[in-house]
Structure 1
Amino acid sequence: MNTKKEIIRILEQNSEYVSGEKISEFLHITRTAVWKNINALRNSGYSIESVTNRGYKLIARPDKITPEEIALGLKTKLLAKRIDCYDRIDSTNEEAKRKALAGAPDGSLFVAEEQTGGKGRLGRSWTSPAGQGLWFTVLLRSSLLPSQAANITLLAGLAVCRAIQRNTGCAAMIKWPNDIVIESKKVCGILTEMAAEMDRIEYMAVGIGVNVNNENFPEELSVKATSLRLESGSFIRRVPLLQEILFELETVLKDFPLHTESLLREYKSRCVSLNRRVGFIRENRKMVGVAEDISPSGELIVRCDDGTKFPISSGEVTVQGIYGE
Structure 2
Amino acid sequence: MQSPIRVKLMEAFRKADGEFLSGQALADIAGCSRTAVWKHIEELRKEGFVFEAVKKRGYRILKSPDRVSGEEIYPGLRTRAIGRVIEYKESVPSTQKIAHTLAQEGSGEGTTVIADEQTEGRGRLLRSWHSPKGTGIWMSIILKPQLPPQRAPQFTLIAAVAVVQAIEEVCGLSPEIKWPNDILLHGKKVTGILTELQAEADKINSIIIGIGMNVNQKADDFPEELKSIATSLSLEKEEKVSRAKLIQKVFEKLELYYDLYMEKGFTPIKLLWESYAVSIGRQITARTITGSIQGKALGINEDGVLRIQDAKGAIHEVYSADIELN
Structure 2 vs 1, CA of residues 282 and 189 (structure 1 numbering), >3 Å: closer, same or farther? closer
Per the alignment, residue 65 of structure 2 pairs with 62
| TM-score when normalising by structure 2 | 0.94
The answer for the alignment partner of 1:5 in structure 2 is 7
Other-structure match for 1:323: none
* 1:50 aligns with one of 41, 50, 53: 53
State the AA in 2 paired with 1:178. N
Partner deviation per Cα, 1:27-68 (whole Å, 9 max, x = no partner): 332222111001111122211111233321111222111111
User: What percentage of aligned pairs have identical amino acids?
Assistant: 35
* 2:249 aligned residue: 244
CA deviation string 1:87-107 (max 9, x = no partner): 000111111001111111111
Tell me whether 1:101 sits opposite 2:104 in the alignment.
Answer: yes
The 2-side partners of 1:175 and 1:195 are apart by 25
Pairwise CA distance, 1:17: 2.4
Alignment of 1:1-325 (within 5 A): 2-14=4-16, 15-216=18-219, 217-256=222-261, 257-258=263-264, 260-281=266-287, 284-320=290-326
Q: Post-superposition shift, 1:282? A: 5.3
Q: 1:306 to 1:42 in 2, by over 3 A?
A: same
What do residues 260-294 of structure 1 show as CA deviations (whole Å, max 9, x unaligned)? 32221111111011112221245733331111121
Report the CA distance between 1:259 and its aligned residue: 5.5
Bigger CA drift: 3-12 or 149-158?
3-12
Which letter does structure 2 place at the counterpart of 1:251?
L
| Alignment coverage as a number of residue pairs | 320
Once residues 32 and 105 of structure 1 are traced to their aligned partners in structure 2, the CA distance between those partners, rounded to angstroms, is 34
Q: Which amino acid aligns with 1:19?
A: S
**Distance of aligned partners of 1:286 and 1:59 in 2 relative to their CA distance in 1, 3 Å threshold:** same
Give 5+ residue unaligned stretches, structure 1: 321-325
Aligned partners of 1:6, 1:49: CA distance in 2, in Å? 19
Amino acid at match of 1:234: E
Q: Render the CA deviation track for 1:183-203: whole Å, top value 9, x for unaligned.
A: 211100000011112210111
CA contact (8 A) 1:122 1:315 kept: no
How many angstroms apart in 2 are the aligned matches of 1:260 and 1:124? 28
What secondary structure does 2:284 align onto? strand
Say which is worse superposed, 295-304 or 9-18, in terms of deviation. Answer: 9-18
CA spacing shift, 1:28–1:274, aligned 2, 3 Å: closer
Do the aligned partners of residues 220 and 30 (structure 1) sit closer, same or farther apart at CA in structure 2, a change above 3 Å counting? same
Deviations 1:177-233 (A, max 9, x none): 121001211100000011112210111110000000111211111111011011111
Q: Structure 1 residues 282 and 229, CA, compared in 2 at 3 Å: closer, same or farther?
A: closer
Q: The residue matched to 2:147 in structure 1 has which SS?
A: coil
C-alpha deviation, 1:3, in angstroms: 0.8
SS at match of 2:152: helix
8 Å contact from structure 2 (residues 122, 128) kept in 1? yes
Partner secondary structure for residue 13 of structure 1: helix
Q: Could you say what the CA RMSD is over the residues aligned between the two structures, in angstroms?
A: 1.5
Q: Is the 8 A contact 2:12 2:29 kept in 1?
A: no
Whether the aligned pair in 1 keeps the contact of 2:96 and 2:140 (CA below 8 Å) is yes
* Pairwise CA distance, 1:24: 2.2
